[in-house]
Structure formats: structure tokens, C-alpha cells
Homo-oligomer: A and B are copies of this chain.
Amino acid sequence: MNNKLDERASGVFVIAVTPFTDDGRIDEASIDRVVEFYLEKGVSGITVLGMMGEAHKLTSDESRLVLDRYMKRVNGRVPVVVGVSAAGTDPLVQFADEAMGQGAAGLMLAPVPTVRTEEQIYGYFSEVLDRLGDAPVVLQDFPLVTNVNISVGTIRRIVDRYPNVVMFKHEDWPGHNKLSRLLAAEGRKISILVGNGGLYLPQELRRGAHGAMTGFAYPEMLVEVCAHFARGEAEQGEDLYDIYLPLLRHEAMPVIGIALRKEMLRRRGAIASAHVRSPGPRLNAEDHRELDSLNGRLMRRLAQSGASLARAAS
């Protein structure tokens, strides 16, 4: 099976967590478990070792272990995208080669935070992409975290020069018009999936985005919303989305978001521990009660709207 990522990718590529045990070691059994969880919820792909995968808090050996376990468990059932962003190009390329050798469908790449002007940004991507060969690549555009701002013109320049850039992860903020301009731009079309925790998903799908790449703890909602839009049922998709929005906008908060997400995945049985590595957030009793409240309200809203949603989801 040829599982390489291409421009036609759509739907939900879930940003996978890296599960740890309570004492902070990689929890390989939970990797297996969360893979099955994601696949049951219908995701189209899995992105491992991204920013929310705490990749920067792993040793090289641990990164290899996580990659290996994810690849083996997914076993080709969906494409796996591997985050390879790193401060140094040599380690980046080395790990990217290992990932592709293990059967990754593609690599996700954000700019280093030290590039500033468009020529520096283009220069950075150019040097890295020249060394990555023909491995399919996802460009990640997340200025809130990287502090790097890329214009539509530079993105297109990269896409036009490098045919292996097949996907764009859109999480500029605010970015609705950037998304529209990217979609309308001339030249080779690529897949555009949106991030930002899914906080603007319906508006972005209405503007033409091809799906989502984010890790909300109810990925089945993201999957279903994308499916609605794919069927031309925008209003129904947004109706479903709005039910989850209160919890989603809570989980989408920076910094504490990863802890909230892991705790929700733990409660749902997808992972054994909600441990986040240091430096990172810890939930206190009030955070837990708040999550109880938001999740309880979600359950009630789902129950109330049950008939119509069940019909919509069938």
C-alpha cells in the first residue's frame, strides 16, 4: 500500500498526544490505546510528535520510541504525519529520514523562531526542503507560537518551487482572509487543514478549507462536522459543532490546553495518565471541577439534541 500524503488529503488529521505514565516515562501501551481510540472516531490521519505531542520535551531516543510505536500500531491503516521541526537542520533531516524510513506518510515542518523577513523564511524552508528530498511535507503556519509571520506570496513561492509540499496547516490568527486568499491563489492546489484547536472550524470550512488538523478530545465531532460539510450540509455541520464549542474553546486555551486535553482523553479511556512533562501545566481541583461542569453541560446538550443529531450522524 502506498500511503504517502498527497494534495488530495482531507478530513481530520488528529494531532496525537504523547502519553506518559504518571512518573513521566513514555507509556507505550497508551500509544496503542489512543491509536485505536482515534481510529474508532474516524480520523483520516494521525499527526505525531507535533507541538501538542510535546516533541520538544523528548530525548532523541524517546522520539524514536514514540515514532516506532505509533507506526507499528497504526500499521498503515491511515497516513501518519511526523512533526520534525527542530532548532538544527542536521538533526531535523536525520530524524526526518528515519521517519520516512519507518513508513511515515509525510513530515510536518514549522519555521525556526529566528527567521523574520520573507527572504529569511523562504531561505530557511528552501534549505531544509532541498535536503528532505521528495518526502511529502506539511507546512505549519502558527505565528502565535513560532513568532514567524509568512505571507500568502511566500507560501505560494514555496509551494510552487517544491512539489513535495502537499499540505498546509493553517493556524495564523486572525487568519480567515489569509485562508481565503490561499485557497484562491493561482498555481498547484494543495490540501489546507486548519488548526487553532478547531476554534474557527465551521467558518474555515465554509471558506473552503479541506479539513482539520487538531487534537480536540472529541475527534468524532471534528470528523462528523467535516463529513457534513463534505456533503454540503454546512448548517447541520455547524449545528453539531456549536454544541461542542463551549468545551472546545476551553480546551483551545494556550499553555493549559494540553493538560485539559490529556485529562479529557484520560477520562474517555484513551490514555492511562494525563501527565504532562515539565515545564508544563498541572490541573488543580478547581480546573477539574470546571472541566466536570463543561463536560456535563456538553453531555446534557447532546442528550437534548439527540434525535436530530443522531439522524444527522447516521
Q: Which residues on A are within 8 Å of B, measured CB to CB?
A: 24, 54, 56-62, 87-91, 94, 112, 114-120, 124, 127, 143, 149-154, 173-174, 176-177, 180, 199-200, 202-203, 206-207, 235, 238, 242, 245-246, 249-250, 253-257, 277-279, 284, 286-287, 290, 293-294, 297, 301
Set B153, B200, B284, B293: member contacting A119, Cβ < 8 A: B153
Closest 7 CB pairs of A and B: A57-B88, A116-B149, A117-B151, A89-B278, A56-B87, A60-B60, A174-B253
Q: Within the assembled complex, what's the spacing in Å between the Cα atoms of A78 and B59?
A: 29
In angstroms, how far is the closest chain B Cβ from the Cβ of A139? 15
Taking a contact as CB atoms under 8 Å apart, the answer to whether A279 and B58 are in contact is no
Task: Identify whether the interface residues of A are mostly helix, strand, loop, or mixed.
Answer: helix
Taking a contact as CB atoms under 8 Å apart, the answer to whether B90 and A254 are in contact is no
Taking a contact as CB atoms under 8 Å apart, the answer to whether B174 and A255 are in contact is yes
Q: Within the assembled complex, what's the spacing in Å between the Cα atoms of A297 and B242?
A: 10
In angstroms, how far is the closest chain B Cβ from the Cβ of A23? 10
A-B contact pairs, 15 of them (CB 8 A): A59-B91, A60-B61, A62-B91, A90-B278, A115-B279, A117-B149, A118-B154, A174-B256, A176-B286, A176-B287, A177-B287, A200-B249, A238-B246, A242-B246, A242-B297
